[in-house]
Chains A and B, each alone.
Chain A
């Protein structure tokens, strides 16, 4: 099929579709990752659950997030990946509003409800070129990664937890490059096709002193996890009066020595 899937990030003009693709729901087993957290290999599964206490007091204070939380996340990710340098380039806070749509005007960012990966073989290196200026060409000669650090702002999290795919269970053909169209630019992400071979994990009742690391790009090849698809989901065992999710994710470039 020649046409590429796309999603608009904004309300389209009347008569213009917001997307040219359809969602396809599947019921899948999602495994508790806690008993095997120390066996997850970030280079194999592309995901990690880590203890990560923070000195951050108010995640809604943007200055404090940049001053306190960003450096903490850099330390966490360099320790987990063996990288020698990291550059945090953005963060997103999601605060569930019951019935709210993601990216709707006046509504906080909402949990993402489709299986996706934030970067592709094309948009990963492009992010480095866009962010690192004159250094980019040299930096792209060595291994680099894009890593998300995700945590609940309050816990235990029971509303819209993250489901994380074991990257080694996702075949290259399952990734569908798709345009994510903003008013002023177009990004490229992966949507994902269903495959019964996918293995899914989550961290039940995740606490605010824990974090999940997600690899959304790795330039390394040859059996290394390059992309770890993820999505929010509704835990069928969660209580009806669960607190609405509040979470923060930061994204960073991670550069290696060789």
Chain B
């Protein structure tokens, strides 16, 4: 049986801080 959202919701979990990239970035002045 494949993984379903309901199965995932029932799993033990921790809340973790994950670092994504912000939606804006600067033009590089040198590269």
Q: Which residues of A contact B (CB under 8 A)?
A: 1-3, 5-6, 16-17, 20-33, 35-36, 39-41, 44-45, 113-115, 163, 166, 176, 178-179, 181, 191-194, 199-200, 202, 204, 231, 233-237
Contacts and interface: CB of A to CB of B under 8 A. Distances in A.
Contacts, number: 123
B31 A28 contact: no
A17 B29 CA distance: 9
B21 to A, nearest CB: 4
A194 B18 CA distance: 9
Given A20-B28, A31-B11, A193-B23, A39 B17 contact: no
Given A31-B11, A36-B11, A39-B2, A6 B18 contact: no
A173 B29 CA distance: 26
Contact of B20 (A45, A114, A236): A114
Contacts of A113: 19
A39 B16 contact: no
Given A1-B24, A36-B8, A181-B31, A233 B13 contact: no
Contacts of B12: 31-32, 35, 204
A114 B20 CA distance: 6
Nearest to A28: B18
B15 A39 contact: no
Contacts of A39: 1-3, 7
A191 B21 contact: yes
B14 A235 contact: yes
Contacts of B24: 1, 22
Query: Closest 5 interchain pairs by CB?
Result: A3-B27, A191-B21, A21-B25, A22-B22, A233-B16
Interface of B: 1-3, 7-8, 11-31
22 contacts: A3-B25, A6-B28, A20-B27, A20-B28, A24-B21, A24-B22, A25-B17, A26-B20, A30-B18, A31-B8, A32-B11, A35-B12, A36-B3, A36-B8, A45-B3, A115-B18, A163-B16, A163-B18, A176-B21, A181-B31, A202-B14, A234-B16
Contacts of A36: 3, 7-8, 11
B27 A28 contact: no
Contacts of B26: 3, 17, 20-21
Contacts of A35: 11-12
A234 B23 contact: no
A202 B8 CA distance: 12
Contacts of A31: 8, 11-13
Given A22-B22, A41-B3, A27 B15 contact: yes
Contacts of B8: 31, 36, 199
B19 to A, nearest CB: 5
